[in-house]
């Protein structure tokens, strides 16, 4: 017996592909009703799918169909069969703008409620509403295109790394809590009362164990989870391009991942960048007050501490550091404009006490807020130190070194923003290397690992570990792009004794170290090869490559700024039954 299989052919073409070459063809399209224009005797409908928009037309030659079309609403899912015909009034803005479909058959595949916001490039929906109905937001070009762009980036990354011999290995999501870095998200175990899994902040220890396992080049595009207090544009779950290599030195990692970044910039933007600059952490802090400097523009720090002290200006005389930047072409700023900048640096988020300014006028003279104390020669010296040219405005902050650097760095970025120097289509990557191994934490009164506890000290600094641990540098590196840290990593410790020593330095007793990280140190006893790695923050990388700042816009289903998923309403309570099963009790 012959089985007749009925195949419903939903579409012969997409809504983005028909043009004048198809005129006369019979086609079937499926998609969403974007817009209906009812002119009485004719109805035009814009039909949308992922690929584009095609105009459907209905006229009085087929009154039944015209009536059917009249009943459609926005976002109805329909199937239309008809002929491709030339359009009377063409739309050169659309790839399909030369044609329309003269519809002969129409089927409603599903109806739709009136959407809560318009599904257009420029929508009337606020952010929260669009998050609640994210599936509708994804129908809009800006979000849809971002997701397609993200997919393109991940594809390029995978192909590039696969070509280099990297193996994609999945590591577990249910692991154990470790007291490093941020706070863990924990998952109670039903089968083991009082015991908890933790979601990984990164696959760090697993990728190191893969090196012990001989996997040699590992990569994974992987979700990581950090229960941090939410800052703007941070997500509690985010994605890393996580990589590790064995039998390599820092130089191999820098070369490999500079290669990857160059490949992305070339494939996506057609930009070829010569070798990425490299600067030490110490130099980055000195020149930009920041370990992720935006080098698309200058305004490097000038250290005025020596030049500005001892001239009778009390405020400066008492300070540890006096630092300035030359803002290009801003000498013509009015008093009011400068007052606004002063107010800006005094905001609690920045925290400066005040600001001194010097106008370097086009005629070569200087006018400053501290003319009483400093001669034209003094100010000329400041101009030299800050690299100011006639026409520039020198802005000076002072205080303790760390705070002043942070404040002036924020001001530098703000001025660049105001002057339009942070161009989204310009890309300026650099490596920051030689990070300190440890940083002193005033609150806990002990050292913290600047990168993480598995980072190796530079061999030439290792002798300082016992005497001056704060001075030890690490083979740790960050890849910075346009003022954002897009990747970071290090050469790791692969020796049990060194790992134990490091954990001691970080305040772990031998027992605690063994309990928390025994699995890793034990593995190091079985032939751990020298190794190191890096992880890129994929969400931010994609956003920057896409010329935007907000990572939420590149995540299909992001959390809001309070860490909530307002679409599925998470986090949420669970039933008493679930609590009991998990041996949990809520204490109010």
Rounded to 5°, the CA angle 560-565-567 comes to: 115
Burial 455-485 (b: 16+ CB within 10 A, else e): bbbbeebeebbeeebeebbbbbbbbbbbbbe
Q: Is residue 211 close enough to count as binding ligand ASP by CB under 6 A?
A: no
Q: How far is CA 219 from CA 110, 163, 181, in A?
A: 42, 12, 22
Q: Is residue 202 close enough to count as binding ligand ASP by CB under 6 A?
A: yes
Q: Which residue is nearest to ligand ASP (CB)?
A: 202
Distance CA 323, CA 306 (A): 10
Nearer to ligand ASP, 34 or 240 (CB): 240
- Residue partners of 365: CB distance under 8 A and separation at least 6: 376
Of 268, 585, 227, 252, which Cα lies nearest the Cα of 425? Answer: 268
Contact pattern for ligand ASP over residues 519 through 538, marking x by CB under 6 A: --------------xxx---
Nearer to ligand ASP, 103 or 521 (CB): 521
Query: Closest separation between CB of residue 492 and ligand ASP, Å?
Result: 8
Nearer to ligand ASP, 136 or 243 (CB): 243
Candidate segments 120-128, 305-313, 337-345, 487-495, binder of ligand ASP by CB under 6 A: 487-495
Nearer to ligand ASP, 78 or 437 (CB): 437
Distance CA 189, CA 196 (A): 5
Nearer to ligand ASP, 11 or 458 (CB): 458
Query: Closest separation between CB of residue 520 and ligand ASP, Å?
Result: 13
Q: Is residue 490 close enough to count as binding ligand ASP by CB under 6 A?
A: yes
Query: Closest separation between CB of residue 457 and ligand ASP, Å?
Result: 15
User: Cα torsion for 341, 344, 345, 346, to the nearest 10°?
Assistant: 120
Element (H, E) at 447: strand 446-449
Query: Closest separation between CB of residue 488 and ligand ASP, Å?
Result: 5
Q: Is residue 479 close enough to count as binding ligand ASP by CB under 6 A?
A: no
User: Are 493 and 454 a contacting pair, CB within 8 Å?
Assistant: yes
Selected binder of ligand ASP within 489, 493, 500, 508 (CB under 6 A): 489
The distance of Cα 242 from the centroid of its chain, to the nearest Å, equals: 15
Q: Is residue 239 close enough to count as binding ligand ASP by CB under 6 A?
A: no
Nearer to ligand ASP, 52 or 533 (CB): 533
- Sheet-wide strand order for 321-327: 302-303, 321-327, 393-399, 356-360, 366-368
Rounded to 5°, the CA angle 222-174-511 comes to: 115
User: Are 24 and 84 a contacting pair, CB within 8 Å?
Assistant: yes
Contact pattern for ligand ASP over residues 533 through 562, marking x by CB under 6 A: xxx---------------------------
Size of the site for ligand ASP (CB under 6 A): 8
Candidate segments 154-162, 248-256, 482-490, 544-552, binder of ligand ASP by CB under 6 A: 482-490
Candidate segments 37-45, 139-147, 324-332, 485-493, binder of ligand ASP by CB under 6 A: 485-493
Residues that bind ligand ASP (CB under 6 A): 202, 204, 488-490, 533-535
């Amino acid at each position: 017996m012959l089985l007749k299989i009925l195949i419903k052919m939903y579409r012969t073409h997409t809504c983005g592909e028909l043009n004048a070459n198809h005129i006369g063809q019979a086609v079937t399209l499926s998609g969403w009703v974007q817009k209906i224009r009812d002119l009485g005797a004719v109805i035009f409908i814009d039909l949308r799918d992922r690929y584009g928009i095609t105009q459907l037309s209905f006229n009085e030659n087929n009154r039944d169909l015209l009536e059917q079309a009249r009943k459609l609403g926005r976002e109805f899912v329909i199937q239309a069969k008809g002929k491709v015909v030339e359009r009377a009034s063409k739309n050169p803005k659309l790839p399909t703008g030369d044609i329309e479909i003269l519809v002969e058959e129409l089927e409603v595949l599903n109806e739709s409620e009136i959407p809560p916001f318009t599904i257009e490039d420029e929508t009337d929906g606020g952010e929260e509403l669009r998050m609640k109905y994210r599936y509708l937001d994804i129908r809009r070009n800006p979000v849809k295109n971002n997701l397609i762009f993200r997919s393109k980036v991940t594809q390029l990354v995978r192909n590039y790394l696969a070509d280099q011999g990297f193996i994609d290995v999945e590591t577990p999501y249910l692991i154990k809590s470790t007291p490093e870095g941020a706070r863990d998200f924990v998952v109670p175990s039903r089968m083991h009362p009082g015991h908890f899994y933790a979601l990984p902040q990164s696959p760090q220890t697993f990728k190191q164990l893969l090196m012990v396992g001989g996997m040699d080049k590992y990569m994974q595009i992987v979700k990581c989870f950090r229960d941090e207090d939410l800052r703007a544009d941070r997500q509690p779950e985010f994605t890393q391009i996580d990589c590790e290599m064995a039998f390599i030195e820092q130089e191999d990692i820098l070369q490999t991942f500079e290669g990857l970044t160059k490949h992305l910039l070339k494939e996506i933007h057609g930009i070829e960048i010569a070798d990425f600059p490299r600067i030490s952490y110490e130099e980055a802090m000195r020149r930009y007050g920041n370990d992720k400097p935006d080098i698309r523009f200058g305004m490097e720090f000038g250290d005025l501490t020596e030049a500005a002290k001892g001239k009778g200006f009390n405020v400066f005389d008492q300070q540890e550091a006096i630092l300035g930047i030359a803002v290009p072409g801003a000498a013509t700023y009015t008093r009011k404009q400068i007052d606004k900048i002063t107010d800006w640096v005094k905001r609690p988020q920045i925290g400066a006490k005040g600001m001194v300014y010097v106008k370097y006028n086009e005629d070569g003279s200087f006018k400053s807020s501290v003319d009483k104390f400093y001669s034209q020669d003094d100010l000329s010296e400041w101009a030299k130190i800050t690299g100011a040219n006639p026409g520039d405005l020198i802005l000076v902050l002072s205080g303790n070194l760390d705070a002043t650097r942070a404040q002036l760095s924020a001001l530098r970025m703000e001025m660049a923003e105001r002057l339009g120097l942070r161009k989204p289509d310009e890309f300026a990557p650099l490596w920051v290397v030689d990070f300190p191994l440890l940083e002193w934490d005033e609150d806990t009164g002990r050292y913290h690992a600047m990168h993480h506890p598995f980072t190796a000290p530079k061999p030439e600094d290792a002798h300082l570990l016992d005497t001056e641990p704060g001075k030890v540098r690490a083979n740790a590196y960050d890849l910075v792009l346009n003022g954002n840290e897009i990747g970071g990593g290090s050469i790791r410790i692969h020796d049990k004794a060194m790992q134990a020593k490091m954990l001691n330095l970080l305040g772990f007793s031998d027992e605690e170290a063994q309990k928390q990280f025994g699995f890793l140190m034990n593995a190091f006893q079985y032939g751990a090869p020298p190794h190191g790695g890096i992880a890129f923050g994929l969400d931010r990388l994609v956003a920057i490559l896409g010329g935007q700042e907000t990572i939420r816009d590149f995540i299909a289903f992001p959390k809001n700024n309070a860490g909530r998923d307002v679409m599925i309403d998470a986090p949420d309570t669970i039933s008493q039954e679930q609590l009991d099963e998990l041996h949990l009790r809520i204490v109010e």
